[in-house]
Amino acid sequence: MSLRIVVTVKYVPDATGDRSFSDDLTVDREDVDGLLSELDEYAVEQALQISENSDDDVEVTVLTVGPEDAKDALRKALSMGADKAVHVEDDDLHGTDAMGTSLVLAKAVEKAGYDLVISGMASTDGVMGVVPALVAERLGVPQVTLLSEVSVEDGTVRGRRDGDAASERLEASLPAVVSVTDQSGEARYPSFKGIMAAKKKPVVSWDLSDLDLDADEVGLAGAWTVVDSALERPARTAGTVVKDEGEGGRQLAEFLAGQKFV
């Protein structure tokens, strides 16, 4: 038996940098460093653990849709231990929305061949948290999303989804799309050996024609949503900061009373 896992990983602007928008109201990728979305590290980690815990032959492919630099995200995932990488890159992808992204991912996953797709719970830039569900809808396979615990055995994926009202145990037959949360387990750091090995691992590049997609199905032109304006939020006006000299609690109570909270 063999198990083919495709992990979707996104290359995003560093959240600790000054993120902003370009003139066309897409994410400015020039002025902030990019990296592998930290939440996708958890997806890579779970794929590697499934592989390590399995008696089967498991192949872990990491897949990204993004510009040239997005290769950095693939390299990071390869150095963590993934076997190979697919990079979907095309100038016409600029400005793709969630519908377009899920279309490209679904096509690429099918072309790569898969039994299991593992995604992060959300990207750290768009933070929509919908792409895994959309990919499952497009592929017509079960979605087993937002798992804080996941395992695969005998063609069945099982996991735990911690919701607001309840914690649920879920189960589905493969093929399936899974997404994992940051509660699923700390992601490993690439070792020096891993980093060296990653340099020799294959990275395949596909463009839209490789996926039988037309330019007008993706990118800004093909988006089903439009951004009309993006304004920097005005900085909060500097508040009062006082040092506690023994009366801090009472001073705070006075402030809250002044604001009618007490």
Partner 1 sequence: MAEVLVYVDHVDGAVRKPTLELLTLARRLGDPVAVALGAGAADTAATLAEHGAVRVLTHEAPEYADYLVVPQVDALQAAYERVSPAAVLVSSSADGKEIAARLALRIGSGVITDAIDLEAGEKGPVATQSVFAAAFTTTSRVSRGTPVITVKPNSASVEAAPAAGGVEALEVVFSAQASGTRVTSRTPRESTGRPELTEAAIVVSGGRGVNGAENFAVIEALADSLGAAVGASRAAVDAGWYPHTQQVGQTGKSVSPQLYIAAGISGAIQHRAGMQTSKTIVAVNKDAEAPIFELVDYGIVGDLFDVLPQLTEEIKTRKG
Residues 217-236 that bind ligand FAD (CB under 6 A): 225
3-state secondary structure of 147: strand
DSSP-derived 3-state class of residue 94: coil
Binding mask 62-91 for ligand FAD (x = CB under 6 A): --xxx-------------------------
Distance CA 204, CA 92 (A): 18
CB of 137 to partner 1, least distance (A): 5
Between 128 and 196, name the residue whose CB sits nearer to partner 1.
128
- Tell me the backbone φ, ψ of residue 7, rounded to 5 degrees: -105, 125
Per the CB < 8 A criterion, the answer to whether 58 and 181 are in contact is no
- State how far the Cα of 38 lies from the Cα of 80, in Å rounded to an integer: 13
- Choosing from 72, 99, 197, 215, the residue that interacts with partner 1 (CB under 8 A) is 99
* Distance in angstroms (rounded) separating the CA atoms of residues 138 and 100: 11
- Give me the 180-219 binding string for ligand FAD, x by CB under 6 A, dash otherwise: --x-------------------------------------
- Binds 250: which of partner 1, ligand FAD, none (CB < 5-8 Å by kind): partner 1
By CB under 8 A, which span of 64-72, 85-93, 208-216, 248-256 interacts with partner 1?
248-256
Task: Decide if residue 128 touches partner 1 (CB under 8 A).
Answer: yes
**Is residue 142 part of the contact set for partner 1 (CB under 8 A)?**
yes
200 binds partner 1 (CB under 8 A): no
Closest distance to partner 1 from the beta carbon of 7 (Å): 18
The beta-carbon contacts of 248-253 under 8 Å, at least 24 apart in sequence, are none
Q: Which is nearer to partner 1, 112 or 172 (CB)?
A: 172
Take residue 95 and report the two structure tokens written for it. Answer: 């400005």
Which candidate, 114, 177, 178, places its Cα nearest to that of 146? 178
Contact status: 182 vs partner 1 (CB under 8 A): yes
The window from 2-10, 59-67, 71-79, 120-128 that contacts partner 1 (CB under 8 A) reads 120-128
Q: At what angle do helices 38-52 and 71-80 cross, to 10 degrees?
A: 40
